[in-house]
Amino acid sequence: MTNLAVTDLHKGFGSQPVLTGVDLEVPAGSLTAILGPSGSGKTTLLRVVVGFERVDRGEVRIGGKVVDDGDRYVSPEDRSIGYVPQEGALFPHLTVGRNVAFGLAKSVRRSGVVGDLLELVGLRGWGSRYPHQLSGGQQQRVALARALAINPSLVLLDEPFSSLDASLRANVRADVQAVLRRSGTTALLVTHDQDEALSWADHVAVISEGRIGQFDTPHALYSHPKDAGVARFLGEANLMPGTVGADGVRTELGVLVLETWSTVPASGRVTVMVRPEQLELSTEADGAPLAGVVREYQYFGHDAVVKVQPDAGPADARLVVRINGGTPFVPGTRVGVRARGPVLAWGPADPLPEPA
Amino acid sequence: MGRSRSVGALGAILVAGALLTACGSNSGATITLYNGQHPQTTEALVNAFEHESGITVQVRNDDEDVFANQIVAEGARSPADVIYTENSPPLEFLQQKHLLAPVAPSTLDHVPSKYNSPTGDWVGVSARVSVMIYNTTLLKADQLPASALDLADPQWKGKLAIAAGETDFQPIVSSVIRTNGEAAALRWLEALKANAGSHVYPDNETITSVVNSGQAAIGIINQYYWYREQVNVGASGMHSAIAYFAPGDVGYVINVSGAAVLKSSKHQADAQKFLAFVTSKQGQEIIGHGDSWEYPIGSGVSITPRGEVPLAQLRANPITVAELGDGAAAVALLQKVQLL
Amino acid sequence: MTTTLETPPSPPPQSAMTPAKPSGSTRAPRGLVFLAGAVAVLLLVPLAFLVLEAVQYGWGAVVPKLFRQLTLSLLWNTISLSVVVTALCAVIGTLAAWCVERTDLPGRRIWAVLVVIPVGIPDFAVAFGWKSVFESVGGFGGAVLVMTFAVYPLVYLPVAASLRNADPGQEEVARSLGVGRYRTFWRVTVGQSRLAVMGGCVLVCLVVFAEYGAFEILGYRTFTTEIFSEFNTGFDTAAACALSLVLVLLSVAVLAGEAATRGRGGVSRIGPMAARLVRPQPLGRAKVPVLGAFVVLVALALGVPLGAIVYWLFAGTSSTLPPASVASAAWHTAFYAAAAGVLSTVLALPVALLSVRHPSWRAMTLERSTYLVLAMPGLVIALAFTYFSERYASGFLYQSAYLLIAAYAIMFFPLALVAVRSSVARAPASFEEIGRSLGRGRLAVLWSVTLPLVAPGLAAAFCLVFLEAVTELTATLVLIPTGAQTLSTQFWVFQTNGSYGQAAPYAALMILIAAVPSYVLGRWFDRLPSRATVPK
């Protein structure tokens, strides 16, 4: 069963188109993330769904009922959508309890529902505090309780974790996910952070330039990106031209084995993606298909990223290599680069995307 | 709770507003007086009239010229029954707009006709006379000019103070125009303006205090301002005196303060009673003995305010109230020399 | 935007990482457009009167009145005075606000109240004070002196509020980049508050345009004194209206100029609006001179008028009129002014909501048109009400408390709008959106979310209108219910009689009544950061 269905949605501001034909179906009870870079239109999509903006063209259905098709329009207050904005936006003039109770009918407010909701988000007993007395994570959880109070058919979360400290973010994210699963709520999360999208959601919709580029499970999305743009956005990727031959694909890294599901012609030019973790470095250049110079070394403890300038090619070209943290590579060191495992490639129509 | 409290507050405001509006209306006979005269002059008259007639008088105070404009804007529905002004021009102006009702002939008879509206639309109530005020430290009496025209002489440069915007000043300009013609009046005003320099003030009160303090040596005012200043600062605070121009001089002008009933008034009879009262012997005595320091002008009333030269002894220029008119010619000339 | 009391009216960062929506994108609800439009029409009533009168008179007769040499010299008088007073107010207001808000000036709490009170002293009482203490005060210099000290709080208040709100981090960054304290002040602090300074300056400029009482006492001639003299000596309503139209055009020019220089410079801030404590900057060796400057400022702006009143209270013994009921005059004054404060604030709300929440050139034009009324002399507005009430409404409410209150509310509407608008701009729209997503309708959200959030702005609006209404005279004389007195009409009655001794208590009481909201205003601005900011 589908809870939210968006069909051919167009929305622009003035002469500037923002959404250009979005199609999206969110199954009931699932957690879906909308992943996209700044300016891709993901917040606008959310605002259209909740009813703060109206569609220019297309249709939005919630639970099968049309809420906006450019003609018919249901006000936000009649859509029963729980909305959790970026900053939580708790009403500063109301206590936590009254914030949560805001959307409840008067008759329900005293019935202990508020206490139960606070319990659900782990804040029982905090009802008489004011928002400014809470930490950022607590505020987000109250905002979620407030959104859940109206027993929504759908909860929308607009980058709700981005303002939290990194240390706090993962915990709050997990808490929110747990609450939503427990209550069986359908939820749509907007984010620009691919780790967040991949780890949080059942499905991820990648949005770019006003359209949904790909809608899939996190695993399928990461391993089978539809095109170079999606691939680039889901983590770092080295993209390079290649030529398909009988033995595989010929690239500057030598002849590489193609993934079986690569959609490429039997021969001709293609775009090849090599993930950084697929590359290996050696200090002796002998035998390696590509030689280069280390230009950058970033150490992360569990691993490290090395950026290598190939000898052949322009001065600003870089290959990104992810290695175990063990061996430091001083910039200037000469290295050899080797790829392992099968690689993905896309057909000739796909030009190399600009780095995000 | 918050809602009911604000609703309550709103209700309280509306009720209070209604109360404030209601306290304006009165069960008995009531007339509304637009008072452009000095409140102290009017207050005593109104109190006595209310006591005498049982009619309540609601008094509004403002400048006489604002009242004239206001009555025009109000048109046929003006709430005013009576207008009482310091000078005749606003009354003449309203008469020309046909907004005044004729004054009862018996009331007009209370006052010598030279002080009344030529068409009988308003009645004179009191009179004032234009005089020189001079600082007694800076000037001796024998140094004073004989005529207002002499104030154009360059010897008064920096010493003269005038209040060109004051309605009391226009009659003198009208008088100069009448006697010497417009061209001469224009030259005279230009010279006066040059002599006054920065001593151009908004009103006679300011001239009085400025001459009294010695910032200016000489000025033209109506006589009663000097007597009122004396009350304000006490005799010891007076460093000035008043002096009259030569008999018949263009600057020696008697101004009439008058009153009229509005044509739109719905209380014509009561309003006429007020006019009859203020021009009656009783009303004129109140003016003569009160704090207004103006001359009562009722026929057969010969009271002179304390210390002043009796009205009968004044040898003023013979210009009539009709010739003073609404002062339009004077205003045009004042505008021409940019004093207005 | 224009005259904000606090932050620039750029939409608050509702989603800091997404680009701001282009303006004009959201549809304004019809009810809101209708209400705001109705308010704008109401505010244009006086303008309609001016045009009607001038047209009735005929342009043939108006033109010679307008195009004479006096008009030029009045234009020069008015403009030169406005420019000088506005510039001085900008400097005094901005510096004072910076010292009070950002430095370790001793006694900041007290100064914050004392420097605001002068706005509550009637301008004619200030002029009367200077004049009666120093007889020679007058002319251009006198007008500059009196007006500057009477109206600089109109710059101080918005700038202080915006400094309170602006991110002190920018100043700290500038200092860390090696920019000196004084250059930081100019480049960062003044830059941050530019919109507030400009907004305050527009108010000052328009108020100077419309001032009458002070200039009459000082003997300085402007367009407005000339308008009055056309009314007074020439009984020439039409000519007065024609001159008033020139004043309106001048104001349009000022508003357009401000809009043009305002440009697109908003304050961008990424991330939450955190209320954080600002560490005051040490004044160091400048402390004593700065303290001295504050003493001088308060002595001149507050001390002189108060001193004159106290002097007359004891020195002037004149008594030719029985004292009217002081209590009744005080009650009427407070009641009319308070009701006008409430009404003005209520009227300002739809206009502020429309122009902040649904910006478009139409909304902006509508909002700006409401400022024109500030430059119209009170007498013109009063006569406009007289005219329309008597001619077109069969005298409905004429000379009733209701009409007087409505006139006050309209005359001082721009002050209320400035305060309400800035607080609406500071209350993020996301709160309202969330309220609606939680199932409450527009009106319910307005009541339960918007109003509580903008409450400080509503209070400031009320106070500003109250202050001005307490001291209003010329319109009061025309429109007050017959028989009622206010403190200012009583003051006028005695003052025109030269009974300064008797006028003094009324002036003193007026200042006392005005001081209450001045104080409240100062305290409200003190409390602002703890409310209505998005919590961190």
Residues C299 and C331 grouped into a single domain: no
User: Given C18, C21, C453, which is nearest A93 (Cβ)?
Assistant: C453
Helices and strands (H, E) in chain C, number of each type = 28, 0
Interior angle at CA C381, CA C375 and CA C386, nearest 5: 175
Those residues whose C-beta lies under 8 Å from the C-beta of residue A327, and which sit 6 or more positions away, are: none
Q: What is the CATH number of the domain that holds C203?
A: 1.10.3720.10
Interior angle at CA B205, CA B201 and CA B207, nearest 5: 45
Q: Is it the case that residue C276 has pLDDT exceeding 60?
A: no
> Taking all residues of chain C, what is their mean pLDDT, rounded to a whole number?
78
Per DSSP, the residues of A21-85 read: EEEEEEETT-EEEEE--TTSSHHHHHHHHHTSS--SEEEEEETTEEEESSSSB--GGGT-EEEE-
Chains touching A, CB cut-off 8 Å, 3+ pairs: C
Contact C480 B334 (CB under 8 A): no
Mean pLDDT of B306-332: 87
Domain count, chain C: 2
What is the per-residue pLDDT for A348? 67
Structure tokens at A76: 């936000």
C-alpha span between B282 and C149 (Å, rounded): 50
Contact B210 C135 (CB under 8 A): yes
What is the per-residue pLDDT for A285? 60
What is the per-residue pLDDT for A303? 86
- Using a CB-CB cut-off of 8 Å, the residues of chain C touching B73 are 237, 383, 386-387, 390
| Residue labelled with tokens 């050899």 | A336
- Using a CB-CB cut-off of 8 Å, the residues of chain C touching B213 are 135
Q: Is it the case that residue C77 has pLDDT exceeding 60?
A: yes
What is the per-residue pLDDT for B50? 94
Which positions 108-147 of A are in contact with C (Cβ < 8 Å)? Answer: 131-132, 134, 136, 139, 146-147
| Residue labelled with tokens 């007195």 | C485
Residues C345 and C250 grouped into a single domain: no
Whether residue C487 is contained in a domain is answered as: yes
Q: Is it the case that residue B23 has pLDDT exceeding 50?
A: no
Residues C291 and C342 grouped into a single domain: no
Tell me C18's DSSP state.
S
Q: Is it the case that residue C322 has pLDDT exceeding 60?
A: no
Beta strands in C2-92 (DSSP E): none
Give A289 to chain C, closest Cα distance, Å: 42
Largest CA distance in chain B: 81
What is the per-residue pLDDT for C7? 33
C-alpha span between C359 and C25 (Å, rounded): 8
Whether residue C57 is contained in a domain is answered as: yes
User: Given A147, A150, A158, which is nearest C15 (Cβ)?
Assistant: A158
What is the per-residue pLDDT for C262? 63
Q: How many CB atoms lie within 10 A of CB B204?
A: 27
Contact A102 C272 (CB under 8 A): no
pTM score over 0.95: no
Interior angle at CA C72, CA C70 and CA C74, nearest 5: 70
Give B123 to chain C, closest Cα distance, Å: 20
Q: Does A157 touch chain C (CB under 8 A)?
A: no
C-alpha span between C497 and B205 (Å, rounded): 8
C-alpha span between C501 and C323 (Å, rounded): 11
What is the per-residue pLDDT for C536? 31
C138 burial via Cβ count (<10 Å: 0-12, 13-18, 19+): buried
pLDDT band at B17 (very low <50, low <70, confident <90, very high): low
Whether residue C22 is contained in a domain is answered as: no
Structure tokens at A334: 């000469």
Whether residue C202 is contained in a domain is answered as: yes
Q: Is it the case that residue B2 has pLDDT exceeding 70?
A: no
Residues C385 and C481 grouped into a single domain: yes
Render pLDDT for A218-255 as a digit per residue (tens, 0 to 9). Answer: 988 888 888 887 887 887 888 888 888 888 888 888 88
Residues C209 and C303 grouped into a single domain: yes
Residues C302 and C353 grouped into a single domain: no
* Residue scoring higher pLDDT (A69 or C511): A69
User: Given B73, B93, B340, which is nearest C229 (Cβ)?
Assistant: B340
Mean pLDDT of A12-33: 90
Whether residue C23 is contained in a domain is answered as: no
State the residue range of the domain holding C346: 323-530
Q: How many CB atoms lie within 10 A of CB B74?
A: 26
Give the number of B-C residue pairs with CB atoms closer than 8 Å.
Answer: 155
Closest CA to C432 of C34, C26, C39, C5: C26
Q: How many CB atoms lie within 10 A of CB A229?
A: 21
User: Given C235, C482, C499, which is nearest B69 (Cβ)?
Assistant: C235
Per-residue b or e along C243-269, where b marks 16 or more CB atoms closer than 10 Å to that residue's CB: bbbbbbebbeebbeebbeebeeeebeb
Helix (H) or strand (E) holding B124: strand B123-135
What is the per-residue pLDDT for B162? 92
Q: Does B17 touch chain C (CB under 8 A)?
A: yes
Contact B74 C386 (CB under 8 A): yes
Those residues whose C-beta lies under 8 Å from the C-beta of residue B253, and which sit 6 or more positions away, are: B129, B130, B171, B172, B175, B316, B317, B319
Between the alpha carbon of residue C180 and those of residues A117, A246, C176, C189, the distances in Å are: 53, 70, 9, 12
Amino acid symbol at A323: I
Contact C478 B70 (CB under 8 A): yes
Which positions 81-140 of B are in contact with C (Cβ < 8 Å)? Answer: 90, 93
Please, what are the domains in chain B? 9-127+256-308 (3.40.190.10), 128-253+324-336 (3.40.190.10)
Whether residue C232 is contained in a domain is answered as: yes
Q: Does A299 touch chain C (CB under 8 A)?
A: no
Residues C265 and C341 grouped into a single domain: no
| Residue labelled with tokens 């605001």 | C116
Q: Is it the case that residue B82 has pLDDT exceeding 90?
A: yes
| 3-state SS class at B165 | coil
What is the per-residue pLDDT for C398? 84
Structure tokens at B191: 């010279």
Check: CB of residue A298 under 8 Å from CB of residue A213.
no
Residues C149 and C294 grouped into a single domain: yes
C-alpha span between B122 and B261 (Å, rounded): 7
Mean pLDDT of B297-316: 87
Residues C327 and C204 grouped into a single domain: no
C-alpha span between B105 and B109 (Å, rounded): 6
Contact A78 C439 (CB under 8 A): yes
C-alpha span between A78 and C189 (Å, rounded): 45
What is the per-residue pLDDT for C221? 83
The least confident of A58-67, B111-120, B143-152, B327-336 is B327-336
C-alpha span between C147 and A166 (Å, rounded): 55
Contact A54 C441 (CB under 8 A): no
Tell me C360's DSSP state.
-
| Residue labelled with tokens 């409240």 | C520
For residue B233, report the phi and psi dihedrals to the nearest 5 degrees: -105, -5
Residues C99 and C57 grouped into a single domain: yes
C-alpha span between A252 and C129 (Å, rounded): 90
What is the per-residue pLDDT for A153? 84
Check: CB of residue C402 under 8 Å from CB of residue C410.
no
What is the per-residue pLDDT for C169? 64
A301 burial via Cβ count (<10 Å: 0-12, 13-18, 19+): exposed
Per DSSP, the residues of B22-37 read: HTT--SS-EEEEEE-S
What is the per-residue pLDDT for A68? 92
What is the per-residue pLDDT for C119? 78
Contact C481 B198 (CB under 8 A): no
Chain C residues bordering chain A (beta-carbon distance below 8 Å): 14-19, 21-22, 24-27, 271-272, 275, 428, 430-431, 433-441, 448-449, 452-453, 455, 530-536
Q: Is it the case that residue C532 has pLDDT exceeding 50?
A: no
pLDDT band at B188 (very low <50, low <70, confident <90, very high): very high
Q: How do strand A254-256 and strand A290-299 relate by DSSP bridges?
A: unpaired
User: How much of chain C is helix, strand and coil, in % rounded to 5?
Assistant: 75, 0, 25
Q: Is it the case that residue C205 has pLDDT exceeding 60?
A: yes
Give C83 to chain A, closest Cα distance, Å: 39
Q: Does B210 touch chain C (CB under 8 A)?
A: yes
Give the torsion through C-alpha atoms of A100, A101, A104, A106, to 10 deg: 180
Contact A87 C430 (CB under 8 A): yes
Chains B vs C: touching, with 3+ CB pairs under 8 Å? yes
C-alpha span between B185 and B330 (Å, rounded): 9
Which chain B residue is nearest to residue C490, measuring alpha carbons?
A: B61
Structure tokens at A346: 């896309």
The least confident of A70-84, C53-67, C178-192 is C178-192
* C-alpha B83: how far from chain center: 12
* Residue scoring higher pLDDT (C426 or C224): C224
What is the per-residue pLDDT for C179? 63
Closest CA to A190 of A223, A162, A222, A232: A162
Amino acid symbol at A152: P
* Residue scoring higher pLDDT (C257 or A353): C257
Amino acid symbol at C527: R
Confidence check on the interface: ipTM exceeds 0.95, yes or no: no
Whether residue C276 is contained in a domain is answered as: no
Whether residue C17 is contained in a domain is answered as: no
- Using a CB-CB cut-off of 8 Å, the residues of chain C touching B16 are 335
C-alpha span between A190 and A212 (Å, rounded): 13
Residues C409 and C436 grouped into a single domain: yes
**Sheet containing A65-68: order of strands:** A16-27, A2-13, A57-62, A65-68
Residues C264 and C329 grouped into a single domain: no
